């Protein structure tokens, strides 16, 4: 009996599930124009090996109208890209963490303008960098305390170790901040390091969402992976999403590659089992089907198959621009890297937000929001057109090609004329 149960479990974990698709015209998309996605990606990126493989989804009005795989998920073993391939989604984890913290906001467990040190006491006396190198910094007091909204909007003054821009991010590397085993260890290291700027003064892509993951633990009394499982993954039927790829699913894990200017992308040998740090900023593995369920919940105003995960007004608040005075990232950012172009783009509570398509020079709508991951994955949600776009591949870094802007052109050009009434 145990053997049969184990066999059934193993089959379930490695199953090939086809996502249901509909005729594009039934949701107002031109099927002939959508074919341009495949031909463009194939001719521009896949045939010559720039991307080893891709998986692209376009949905509208709650239905998947386009789902297409190209190339390989494992070049070394000549394994074709599969619909149920498992991807390292890196910073697309941030949206899940942001939704999680806002679920707790809805329970009035905190306010957006609460100082972070109310929940992380060691952060009460954070300082701002003035000069010097680690560990001999000259610092000053911030103009005000860091708030939880600062973390959600990346205006906290924190940074990333890979920026290679300042003596502060150099200190992140020297202290091996992002090699910490636990979120508590990470926030304790951060308590001893200066901020890049006073909270609220600028925008900088950072470990802020990892800190939010720690706050989810503090406020909920649960470990982050347990919270995600109970409050996000199980209700959304995200059966293949987690902080590691189990041994029994490794055959479905897409290989990870790094761009090489003078040759084909280089295979990266990165462990896929038992990651210690539960990184709310970039630690999840997921699939196209799972992440589409997550996006369906968001564009569905917080509901999925009749289950409400978060309120409609909370989604609206998160997808507003929270940069001061309606500014865009060109006016606020000091970041050396992020997952979005800056012109015409603002930032909400966990996502970038389109403010001005003309300034951004791309097909879009005011209010489109989304984010990407370091391995060139991306999701985009357009509430006005009821469109979801998800692109999966595994190439570091995400700044290698401009495929995200190109996808907008390819998808939005397929929108059919609205019928006059």
62 contacts 386 by C-beta, under 8 angstroms: yes
**pLDDT confidence band for 5 (50 / 70 / 90):** very low
- Alpha carbon 182 to chain centroid distance? 20
3-class SS of residue 227: helix
* pLDDT, the chain, mean: 93
The pLDDT score that the predictor gives to residue 262 is 86
For the residues 203-216, what does the mean pLDDT come to? 97
Q: How are strands ordered across the β-sheet holding 395-396?
A: 266-268, 256-258, 395-396
pLDDT 10s digits, 220-235: 999 999 999 999 999 9
pLDDT 10s digits, 311-370: 999 999 999 999 999 999 999 987 766 667 789 999 999 999 999 999 999 999 999 999
H-assigned helices in 133-220: 148-152, 167-174, 183-190, 208-220
The pLDDT score that the predictor gives to residue 13 is 47
Give the separation between CA 208 and CA 159, rounded to whole angstroms: 8
pLDDT 10s digits, 99-138: 999 999 999 999 999 999 999 999 999 999 999 999 999 9
Give the separation between CA 300 and CA 61, rounded to whole angstroms: 9
141 contacts 128 by C-beta, under 8 angstroms: yes
pLDDT at 210 over 80: yes
pLDDT at 4 over 80: no
pLDDT 10s digits, 170-190: 999 999 898 899 999 999 999
End-to-end Cα distance, the chain: 62
H-assigned helices in 55-147: 93-106
pLDDT 10s digits, 22-72: 999 999 999 999 999 999 999 999 999 999 999 999 999 999 999 999 999
* Run of H or E including 88: strand 86-88
- List domains and CATH numbers for the chain: 23-93+240-412 (3.40.710.10), 100-220 (3.40.710.10)
The pLDDT score that the predictor gives to residue 342 is 83
Give the separation between CA 349 and CA 203, rounded to whole angstroms: 13
The pTM of the full predicted model, rounded to 2 decimals, is 0.94
Strands of 232-349 (E only): list them: 256-258, 266-268, 285-287, 303-304, 307-308, 345-347
pLDDT at 2 over 70: no
């Amino acid at each position: 009996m145990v053997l049969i149960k184990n066999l059934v479990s193993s089959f379930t974990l490695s199953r090939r599930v086809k996502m249901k698709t509909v005729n594009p015209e039934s949701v107002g998309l031109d099927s002939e124009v959508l074919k341009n996605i495949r031909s463009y990606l194939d001719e521009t990126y896949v045939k010559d090996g720039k991307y080893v493989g891709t998986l692209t989804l376009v949905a509208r009005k709650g239905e998947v109208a386009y789902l297409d795989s190209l190339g390989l998920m494992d070049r070394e073993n000549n394994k074709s890209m599969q619909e149920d391939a498992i991807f390292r989604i890196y910073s697309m984890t941030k949206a899940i963490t942001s939704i999680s913290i806002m679920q707790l906001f809805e329970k009035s467990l905190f306010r957006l303008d609460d100082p972070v040190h109310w929940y992380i006491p060691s952060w009460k006396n954070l300082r701002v960098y003035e000069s010097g190198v680690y560990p001999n910094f000259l610092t000053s007091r911030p103009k005000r305390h860091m708030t939880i909204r600062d973390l959600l909007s990346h205006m906290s003054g924190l940074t990333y170790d890979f920026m290679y821009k300042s003596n502060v991010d150099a200190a992140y590397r020297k202290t091996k901040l992002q090699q910490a085993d636990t979120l508590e260890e990470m926030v304790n290291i951060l308590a001893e390091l200066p901020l890049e700027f006073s909270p609220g003064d600028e925008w900088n892509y950072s470990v802020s969402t990892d800190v939010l993951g720690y706050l989810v633990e503090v406020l909920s009394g649960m470990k982050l992976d347990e919270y995600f499982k109970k409050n996000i993954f199980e209700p959304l039927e995200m059966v293949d999403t987690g902080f590691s790829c189990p041994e029994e699913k490794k055959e479905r894990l897409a290989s990870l590659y790094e761009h090489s200017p003078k040759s084909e992308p280089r295979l990266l040998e990165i462990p896929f089992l038992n990651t210690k740090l539960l990184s709310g900023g970039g630690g999840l593995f997921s699939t196209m089907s799972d992440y589409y369920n997550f996006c369906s919940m968001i564009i569905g105003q917080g509901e999925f198959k009749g289950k409400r995960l978060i309120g409609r007004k909370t989604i609206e608040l998160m997808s507003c621009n929270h940069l001061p005075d309606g500014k865009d990232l060109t006016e606020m950012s000091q970041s050396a890297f992020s997952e979005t172009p800056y012109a015409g783009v603002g930032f909400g509570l966990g996502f970038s937000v389109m403010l001005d398509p003309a300034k951004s020079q791309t097909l879009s709508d005011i209010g489109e929001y989304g984010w990407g991951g370091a391995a060139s994955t991306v999701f985009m949600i357009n509430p006005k057109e009821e469109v979801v776009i998800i692109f999966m591949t595994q190439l570091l870094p995400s700044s290698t090609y401009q495929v995200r802007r190109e996808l907008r052109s390819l998808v939005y050009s397929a929108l059919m004329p609205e019928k006059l009434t």
